[in-house]
Amino acid sequence: MEVQVFGVRKSADTRAALRFFAERRIKTHFVDLDEREPSPRELERFARKFGVQALIDRESKRFAQLGLQTAQLTDTRWLEKLAQEPLILRLPLVRWQQDVTVGEAATRWKQWYESAT
């Protein structure tokens, strides 16, 4: 089993996800969004399942700094903005095979683990 985790190291939820998989000896491919911006196509995979609005962390400091509280953007424009500003993403974004999660989802990750073992 191998999962792909998109996040930033200073995010507590991202660190918790990495720790969750490490404790279970699950191989992870970590994509640090501070070093590499996600492409809008990568984000579309998550948006197809949860919707674009579910990817936005409206409580993040960066969201407030950018003054996006009243922004009314199309889904396409939101995906572009999320790709440019990954710190307004709800992290971590985790992918295993064709399944994806947004944010802390330990229950779902346990299901993945149990189905793989």
Sheet containing strand 27-32, edge to edge, reads 27-32, 2-7, 93-96, 99-102
Backbone angles phi, psi at 37, to 5 degrees: -70, 145
As a whole number of angstroms, the distance between CA 92 and CA 117 comes to 23
- List, for residues 34-46, the tens digit of each pLDDT value: 999 888 888 999 9
Compute the half-sphere exposure of residue 70: CA atoms within 13 Å on the CB side of its CA.
1
CATH superfamily of 2-116: Glutaredoxin (3.40.30.10)
Condensed to tens digits (0 to 9), the pLDDT of residues 60-106 reads 999 999 999 888 899 999 999 999 999 999 999 999 999 999 999 99
pTM to 2 decimal places: 0.89
Domain boundaries, the chain: 2-116
Contact 21, 94 (CB under 8 A): no
Q: Residue 19 to residues 16, 40, 70: CA-CA distances in angstroms?
A: 5, 27, 35
Reported as a single tens digit per residue, the pLDDT across 9-53 is 999 999 999 999 999 999 999 999 999 988 888 899 999 999 999
